[in-house]
């Protein structure tokens, strides 16, 4: 077993950066392709990050797993993570459908937190993919998590992340705050749905 710090080796960092860039490029190209097909832009912005070893250790600890490199690769899906923020809810499926046609990539898991929100209120469409990248003269397989969100889902998740997500709150108020955040996530979903209906109504005029 090797230490988590192996992720900081030059070779692994380069491989992960290539994988992240490849996925972000794919999302950019899909945005081009879909904008021609649908007659409007679907993705507002694309971002990505490689998870820090410390953050990986915390996540492994939370999952009750051993803190080593091999376990991290096996159980942590989002060591490499890309995110596309879309305009409307149905855009998430259109983007996912095109990604599914890419031959150098296999979707190995879909977590549909749009259909089945987490109990926090979190909504998003997560695709865990295995991506083939050319590296060191051969094809290497790398796991990447792609998060597809609407503006509203992203707005909620970013604020939730800042306010609560990574904090251990034992305060008496925390239950109330969690309920409030959940209610706001529901309200944003309702606006998301209304905006999509409005877009369709305007398109028919």
| Residue 167 beta carbon to ligand 0O2: minimum distance, rounded to whole angstroms | 11
Pair of tokens at residue 158: 């970013």
Nearer to ligand 0O2, 15 or 111 (CB): 111
What b-and-e string marks burial along 4-24, b requiring 16 or more CB atoms within 10 Å of the CB? beebeeeeeeebbebbbebbb
Nearer to ligand 0O2, 34 or 92 (CB): 92
| Residue 82 beta carbon to ligand 0O2: minimum distance, rounded to whole angstroms | 12
- For residues 106 to 125, the per-residue mask of contacts with ligand 0O2, x marking binding by CB under 6 A and - elsewhere, is -----x------x-x-x---
Task: Examine residue 60 and tell whether it contacts ligand 0O2 (CB under 6 A).
Answer: no
Task: Examine residue 57 and tell whether it contacts ligand 0O2 (CB under 6 A).
Answer: no
| Residue 71 beta carbon to ligand 0O2: minimum distance, rounded to whole angstroms | 12
| Residue 148 beta carbon to ligand 0O2: minimum distance, rounded to whole angstroms | 12
| Residue 133 beta carbon to ligand 0O2: minimum distance, rounded to whole angstroms | 21
DSSP notation for the chain? ---GGGGGSHHHHHHHHHHHHHHHHHHHHHHHHHHHHHSS--EEEEEEEE--HHHHHHHHHHTT---SHHHHHHH-TTSEEEEEEESSHHHHHHHHHHHTT-TTEEEEEEEETTTS--TT----EEEEEEEEEEETTEEEEEEEEEEEEEHHHHHHHHHHIIIIIT-----TTHHHHHHHHHHHHHHHHHHHHHHHHHHHHHHH-
Among positions 40, 61, 161, 179, the unique one binding ligand 0O2 when judged by CB under 6 A: 161
Nearer to ligand 0O2, 15 or 57 (CB): 57
Nearer to ligand 0O2, 69 or 122 (CB): 122
Q: Under the rule (CB under 6 A), what is the footprint of ligand 0O2?
A: 59, 77-78, 111, 118, 120, 122, 126, 157, 160-161, 165
């Amino acid at each position: 077993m090797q230490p988590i710090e192996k992720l900081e080796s030059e070779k692994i960092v380069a491989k992960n950066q290539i994988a992240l860039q490849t996925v972000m490029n794919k999302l950019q190209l899909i945005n081009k392709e879909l904008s021609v097909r649908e007659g409007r832009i679907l993705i507002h912005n694309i971002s990505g990050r490689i998870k820090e070893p410390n953050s990986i250790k915390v996540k492994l600890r939370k999952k009750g797993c051993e803190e080593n490199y091999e376990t991290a690769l096996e159980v942590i899906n989002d060591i490499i993570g890309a995110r596309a923020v879309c305009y409307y809810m149905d855009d998430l499926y259109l983007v996912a459908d095109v990604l599914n046609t890419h031959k150098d990539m296999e979707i190995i898991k879909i977590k549909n937190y749009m259909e089945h929100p987490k109990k926090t209120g979190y909504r998003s469409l997560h695709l865990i993919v295995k991506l083939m990248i050319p590296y060191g003269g051969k094809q290497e397989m790398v796991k990447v998590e792609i998060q597809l969100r609407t503006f509203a889902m992203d707005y909620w998740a970013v604020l939730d992340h800042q306010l609560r997500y990574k904090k251990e709150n034992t305060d008496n108020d925390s239950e109330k705050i969690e309920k409030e955040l959940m209610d706001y996530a529901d309200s944003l979903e309702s606006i998301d749905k209304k905006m999509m209906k409005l877009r369709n109504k305007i398109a028919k005029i």
